[in-house]
Amino acid sequence: MNLRENIKKELRLLNEQSGCPGGIHNYRGYISSTFHNVIVNPSAICTASGTGALSFEGIPGSLPPFASNHCANNQNAYQWLGSPNPGDFVGIEGLGGQGNSPANQPARLCWEYLGTTSSTNLHQTNPILTNPLSLGTFNDCEACDGGTSSSSGCDPSAWSNHSNWITTWTSLPNFTSSNPNQPCNMICNKLQIWNNNLTNAGPVQANQLECKIEEGENQSQIHGCNC
């Protein structure tokens, strides 16, 4: 082993011993009504699926691989899931097709966020769904299972630039154009784009898109558009 390889080995060992800055984000899984898309006993819904904590290293299909930086992947998964507070529930929807999940069938998974630990034991644990979509944060497991997010729709307080965006957007020349097709052409086009972008949006982007859609529909009504 040459000097460079020895240095890399020592740095890797040092990184493993020091753990992740800020700690490792941990979760506890709960059984949902479409848990891995297998039939479950109704009485088992929203019971813990295990006693151990999970520490995700990414969401398949939604995050780039961080094979050499597990701490960054764990942090990215936390942000993608909605940056929950301890006690919050987070959920994703996706298609089965791995493990015991039938292929191309919708399923939902829910977890309680437990906070961070200083443990250096970062498991390579990922949800077994393909094309997952983050559902954001929920107050409890029942809300996660039912899909009623605590932050659904437009929440202006969660977007600091909300009022500035409305002022800037409604000041575009399309709104004062002499063209009889404006501003409706622009409004309807934007509404279609924003609705399409909702499909793969994370919680923060989804909230901004919901707010844009809300204002777009408001302007559509004001200007008599048929979007």
Mean pLDDT score of the chain: 75
pLDDT of residue 10: 45
Mean pLDDT check: name the lowest of 9-18, 55-64, 162-171. 9-18
pLDDT of residue 122: 56
pLDDT of residue 14: 39
Specify the 3-state DSSP secondary structure of 32: coil
Residues 20 and 124 grouped into a single domain: yes
**Which one of 86, 117, 146 terminates a domain?**
146
pLDDT of residue 154: 81
Token output for 125: 């644990």
Which pTM does this prediction carry?
0.53
AA identity, residue 129: L
pLDDT 10s digits, 14-58: 344 446 777 888 888 888 877 655 556 777 888 887 766 777 777
pLDDT at 169 over 90: yes
- pLDDT tier for residue 189 given thresholds of 50, 70 and 90: very high
β-partners of residue 90 are 111, 137
**Which one of 123, 146, 169 terminates a domain?**
146
| Nearest-angstrom CA–CA distance, 166 and 160 | 12
pLDDT of residue 102: 52
pLDDT 10s digits, 107-138: 778 889 989 887 655 555 566 666 777 888 88
Mean pLDDT calculated for residue range 143-152: 58
Residues 84 and 168 grouped into a single domain: no
Q: Is residue 227 part of a domain?
A: no
Residues 194 and 82 grouped into a single domain: no
pLDDT of residue 15: 42
Winning range, highest mean pLDDT, from 11-15, 88-92, 183-187: 183-187
Residues 25 and 120 grouped into a single domain: yes
179 close to 205: Cβ distance less than 8 angstroms: no
Residues 95 and 196 grouped into a single domain: no
**How many domains does the structure of the chain reveal?**
2
- DSSP letter, residue 186: H
Residues 139 and 171 grouped into a single domain: no
**Which one of 115, 146, 177 terminates a domain?**
146
Residues 14 and 123 grouped into a single domain: yes
107 close to 129: Cβ distance less than 8 angstroms: yes
pLDDT of residue 12: 47
Mean pLDDT calculated for residue range 129-154: 72
Mean pLDDT check: name the lowest of 26-35, 115-124, 192-201, 217-226. 115-124
Residues 202 and 111 grouped into a single domain: no
Residues 45 and 122 grouped into a single domain: yes
- pLDDT tier for residue 149 given thresholds of 50, 70 and 90: very low
pLDDT of residue 151: 41
pLDDT of residue 184: 94
**Cβ contacts of 174 within 8 Å, gap of 6 or more:** 182, 183, 185, 186
Token output for 165: 């965006």
| Nearest-angstrom CA–CA distance, 20 and 16 | 8
| DSSP labels, 56-121 | B---TTTS---TT-HHHHHHHHHHHTT-PPTT-EEEEEEE--STTSPTT-EEEEEEEEEEEE--S-
Full domain range(s) for residue 190:
156-222
